[in-house]
Amino acid sequence: MTARRILTVFGTRPEAIKLFPLLHALEGDARFVSRVCVSAQHRDMLDQVLGIAGIAPDHDLDLMRPDQSLDALSAALLTGLGRVIDAERPDWVVVQGDTATAMAGALAAYYHKIPVAHVEAGLRSGDIHHPWPEEVNRKIIGTIAALHAAPTETAAEALRRENVAPATIHVTGNTVIDALHWIVAKSEAQPALVSGLAELEARFAGKRIIGLTSHRRESFGEGMRAIAQAVKRIAARPDVAVIFPVHLNPNVRAIMQAELAGLDNVALIEPLDYPHFARLLAISTLMLTDSGGVQEEAPALGKPVLVMRETTERPEGVAAGTAKLVGTDAERIVAETFRLLDDEAAYAAMARAHNPFGDGRAAGRIVELLAD
C-alpha cells in the first residue's frame, strides 16, 4: 500500500501548538509521508513552538511583515501555498483553526482539487465581526473541507446546521489538550524549561496570581483601554498580582505600557514560550483572556476563565461552567474577578467544572480518520 502524503499547513503559534501532537503521530506512522509547510504568519512565536516540539518544516514561506494588511497577507499566502502544493502533490492538506493561513491553505488546496482536513472544525460565534476575521475564515474552511475534525459535539452540530455532510464530521476532542499534557510532562522531566518564571514567582510569593492575555483585533482601541483600566483596579488589591505576557502587536503594547507600566503588582513581560505559558496557567488562580486556546487549556488545569469578549465560538466552556463571558466593560471585568477572588463557592464551582474539550487523545483519532 502506497503511503499517503499529508501536507500540514500552519503559520501561527496557536496552530503550531494544536498541530504538533498530530505531526508527532503522523511522523511515527508508516502509513503516511508527512510534509510540513509554515507561512510564518507569526515568526518568533511560531519558531519557539517548532523548536520545543522538534518540528522541522519542509517549506517556510516567511511571510510575516510589519503592519501587513489582511488582503496583502492573504494574496501572498494563496500564491505561496499554491507553489508548495504544486511541488508536493499531497493526498490531503491539513489545516487547523481559523487563521488567514488556514483559510488560504484550504482555498489553495481546493483550487488544486486536493481534499482538506480541518482540525478544530465547527467553531462558531454566529457573528462575522466577532472574532474578526476568524469567524469568516473558519466558515470558508468549513465549506471546502472534506474531513471535519470537530473538537466537541456542539461544534459538530454547528456544522450539521450548515448542511455539511454528516459522514464527513467526526468528534475527536481538541488537540490542544494533547499538547498541554505533553508539555506539562516534558516540563516536569526538564524543570529548566520553565525556570524563566522563577523570579516572578518569588516576587509574588503569597499573592494570588491572575494570568492575563489580550490581543483580539475587535478590542483594539477603547476595548483594550477598558481592559487596561480594569487590570489597574484589580492589581490595586494587596493580595493579587497580575502576570501579563504582552502581545507583540503595537495596538496592544502601546495602550498596556501607557496604562500599566510601573505598577508594583503588574508584571508586563514578553510573550512566553509554550512551556512557560503552561507554567503560568499552572500557577495562576484564574485567567483573564480574550484568547480561544486559553478557554480550552485553563480548564484542563482547573483554572476558571473570564473571557473578555462579547461572544465566544467555544460555548461549551460557558455551558460547562469553566468559563464566563465578561466582555470589555471594565466594571464587569473587575466585579467578576473580585467575585472569584472573594467567593470560595463561586470559585470552586468553576475550578471543578468538567472540561468539555477533550481527553488528550485527539491526534490519534485524527490520524485514523486520515488513514481510513
Q: Where are the domains of the chain?
A: 4-174+358-371, 195-351
Position 60 scores a pLDDT of: 97
Position 215 scores a pLDDT of: 77
Position 293 scores a pLDDT of: 84
Q: What is the pTM of this model?
A: 0.85
Catalytic-role residue among 42, 148, 215, 309: 215
Instruction: Please give the angle made by the CA atoms of 177, 16 and 35, to the nearest 5 degrees.
Output: 115
Catalytic-role residue among 88, 134, 297, 336: 134
pLDDT (tens place) for every residue of the chain, 372 residues total: 799 999 999 999 899 999 999 999 999 899 999 999 999 987 888 998 999 999 999 999 999 888 889 999 999 999 999 999 999 999 999 999 999 999 999 999 999 999 999 999 999 988 998 888 999 999 999 999 999 999 999 999 999 999 999 999 999 999 999 999 999 999 999 999 999 999 999 999 999 999 999 977 776 778 889 999 999 999 999 999 999 999 878 888 889 999 999 999 999 999 999 999 999 999 999 999 998 889 999 999 999 999 999 888 888 999 999 999 999 999 999 999 999 999 999 999 999 988 889 899 999 999 999 998
Position 269 scores a pLDDT of: 96
Asked if residues 314 and 296 have their Cβ atoms less than 8 Å apart, the reply is yes
Structure-block grid coordinates of residue 251: 495596538
**Domain 4-174+358-371, classified CATH 3.40.50.2000, yes or no:** yes
Q: Is 129 a catalytic residue?
A: no
93, β-bridge pairs? 7, 116
Position 1 scores a pLDDT of: 72
Question: Same topology for domains 4-174+358-371 and 195-351, yes or no?
Answer: yes
Catalytic-role residue among 15, 29, 88, 98: 98
First to last CA, the chain: 13
Q: Is 134 a catalytic residue?
A: yes
Phi, psi (5° rounding) for residue 28?
-95, 15
Measured CA to CA, the distance from residue 188 to residue 193 in angstroms comes to 9
Contacts 24+ apart (CB under 8 A), 276-279: 276/193, 276/194, 276/196, 276/197, 277/245, 278/180, 278/183, 278/184, 278/187, 278/194, 279/187, 279/194, 279/197
Which strand ranges, in their side-by-side order, compose the sheet holding 323-325?
266-269, 240-245, 208-213, 286-289, 305-307, 323-325
Up-side HSE of residue 194: CA atoms within 13 Å toward CB? Answer: 20
Position 42 scores a pLDDT of: 79
Domain 195-351 sits in CATH at 3.40.50.2000
Q: Is 215 a catalytic residue?
A: yes
Up-side HSE of residue 136: CA atoms within 13 Å toward CB? Answer: 7
Question: Which single residue is written with the C-alpha cell 519558531?
Answer: 47
Catalytic-role residue among 60, 120, 313, 316: 120
Catalytic-role residue among 112, 247, 332, 361: 247
Q: Is 29 a catalytic residue?
A: no
Measured CA to CA, the distance from residue 134 to residue 275 in angstroms comes to 26
Position 30 scores a pLDDT of: 97
